[in-house]
Amino acid sequence: MSDREIIRLFIEGRVQGVGYRAFLVREALALDLTGWARNRRDGAVESVVSGPRPALAALIAAARRGPRLARVDALREEPADEAALVAFCGAGFSVAPDA
- For the domain covering 4-92, report its CATH number: 3.30.70.100
Which entry of 21, 41, 65, 76 is annotated as an active-site residue?
21
- What pLDDT sits at residue 11? 98
- What pLDDT sits at residue 1? 42
- What pLDDT sits at residue 2? 65
Q: What are phi and psi of 55, to 5 degrees?
A: -70, -40
- Is residue 39 among the annotated active site residues? yes
- What pLDDT sits at residue 63? 98
pTM, rounded to two decimals: 0.90
The alpha carbon dihedral of 28, 31, 32, 33 has a sign of negative
Beta bridge mates, 48:
8, 36
What gap in Å lies between CA 43 and CA 14, rounded to an integer?
8
DSSP H helical ranges for the chain: 20-30, 53-65, 82-86
Beta bridge mates, 76:
10
Which entry of 38, 39, 65, 71 is annotated as an active-site residue?
39
Reported residue count of the chain is 99
Contact 55, 3 (CB under 8 A): no
